[in-house]
Amino acid sequence: MDRTALRPSIFNVEAFKKDNEAVKRGVTDEERILYALSAMAGWKIVVDFKGRLIKDMEDANKDLMASGQSFDEIGKNAVVINLAESIVDRIINLVSDAKEACEADLNDK
């Protein structure tokens, strides 16, 4: 069994300080958790994926136009694409807003 001490680099002191400051300012637990999510590398992948996903759906709708599908079918797809984009944007905005709430005072200093 390894009995060596944890290296200081494992514990992110700056993140701990930011989290403590956010708690003092009354930031909710949900906002702090979402803020932590925004700092993860995977979050950028999700945001980038959203852009590719919407582009793929729009390209598919363009293919329907090129193949002569009815205006009803094309219109339905356009509405679905718009709704899907709005839903994903709300998720992204939720995390972005939490990040702003946690960093608000830090950016003013």
CA distance 103 to 60: 39
Task: Categorize the per-residue pLDDT at 27 as very low, low, confident or very high, splitting at 50, 70 and 90.
Answer: confident
Full domain range(s) for residue 51 = 26-108
- How many domains does one find in the chain? 1
- What average pLDDT does the segment 10-35 reach? 78
- pLDDT band for position 106 (cuts 50, 70, 90): low
pTM (2 d.p.): 0.70
pLDDT at residue 2 in the model: 63
Residue 92: inside a domain, yes or no?
A: yes
Q: What is the pLDDT of residues 51-73, one digit of tens each?
A: 999 999 999 999 999 999 999 99
In a domain, 53, yes or no: yes
Q: Has residue 7 been placed in a domain?
A: no
Candidates 59, 12, 60, 64; CA nearest to 40 is: 12
Residue 102 lies in a domain: yes
Letter for the amino acid at 51? G
Q: Could you tell me if residue 57 is inside a domain?
A: yes
pLDDT band of residue 18 (cuts 50, 70, 90) is confident
Among residues 91, 77, 81, which one has the least CA distance to residue 54? 81
Indicate whether 66 belongs to any domain: yes
Residue 104 has pLDDT above 70, yes or no: yes
Any domain includes 14 = no
Asked whether residue 11 carries a pLDDT value surpassing 70, the answer given is: no
